[in-house]
């Protein structure tokens, strides 16, 4: 009996791990999605690249239209960071295609990145994009930033009535890529009120590192407000 209970608990834990929303620091879950550019396997399709997966409530809506125009206008900037874009909503593929066509004809903007069609809402539910605000029928404005190793580095949520700031998403990618070198980024980087465009050096956690930090200060390699708050220019 105890063995059956134990096995039941194990199966329940595995089920919860498989179907709960992925978290920052975890690998993006494997899935096959239908898009305006055909069937795509994620995250393998973007192997070796960063990518931003973002959801929007619905096609042919004003705020979402402004967002797609804004994303497309910055698409080359994302690509310069080795980063791709992929959208998602619970609309069907033909709706995405017609909306893309409308944006091109009426606004002169050609959307060049794929959009996932998720009419059943399974992908949206898997990624935690269906919130109470939309009564579970539309996706909120979620953003997943995934790095070149398919690890989720950031997750953002915006309410349906608030369009995203694409420059902030670009800033986050730039900052996260620099952070891979072992630094942390201050508030409002690269325009921080204390250290400007400097980056924060990992704080010392023992006396040996404190001494090393002081030597680095003397050598002009870093600057410190104190041994636990040091920074440098890149």
Catalytic residue among 64, 83, 224, 230: 64
The sheet carrying 223-226 orders its strands as 199-201, 229-232, 223-226
From the list 34, 216, 135, the residue with the least C-alpha distance to 227 is 216
DSSP secondary structure of 125-139? HHTT---GGGTTSS-
Q: Is 162 left (phi over 0), alpha (psi -120 to 50) or beta?
A: beta
Bridge partner residues of 34 (DSSP): 39, 117
Reply yes or no on whether 83 is catalytic. Answer: no
Give dist(CA 160, CA 163) in Å, integer.
Answer: 8
Give dist(CA 179, CA 175) in Å, integer.
Answer: 6
E strands, the chain, where? 31-35, 38-42, 50-55, 83-89, 115-117, 141-146, 152-158, 199-201, 223-226, 229-232
Catalytic residues: 64
């Amino acid at each position: 009996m105890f063995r059956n209970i134990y096995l039941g608990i194990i199966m329940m834990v595995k089920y919860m791990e498989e179907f709960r929303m992925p978290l920052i620091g975890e690998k993006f879950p494997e899935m096959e999605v239908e898009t305006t550019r055909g069937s795509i396997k994620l995250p393998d399709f973007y192997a070796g690249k960063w990518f931003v997966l973002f959801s929007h409530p619905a096609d042919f809506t004003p705020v979402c239209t402004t967002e797609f125009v804004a994303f497309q206008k910055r698409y080359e900037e994302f690509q310069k960071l080795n980063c791709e874009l992929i959208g998602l909503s619970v609309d069907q593929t033909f709706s995405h295609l017609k909306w893309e066509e409308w944006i091109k004809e009426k606004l002169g903007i050609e959307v060049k990145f794929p959009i996932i069609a998720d009419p059943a809402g399974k992908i949206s539910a898997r990624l935690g994009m269906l919130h109470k605000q939309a009564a579970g029928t539309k996706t909120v404005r979620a953003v997943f930033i995934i790095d070149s190793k398919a690890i989720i580095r950031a997750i953002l949520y915006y309410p349906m009535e608030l369009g995203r700031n694409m420059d902030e998403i670009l800033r986050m990618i730039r900052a996260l890529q620099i952070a891979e070198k072992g630094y942390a980024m201050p508030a409002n980087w690269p325009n921080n009120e204390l250290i400007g465009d400097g980056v924060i050096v990992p704080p010392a956690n023992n006396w040996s590192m404190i001494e090393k930090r002081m030597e680095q200060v003397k050598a002009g390699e870093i600057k410190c407000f104190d041994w636990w708050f040091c920074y440098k220019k890149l």
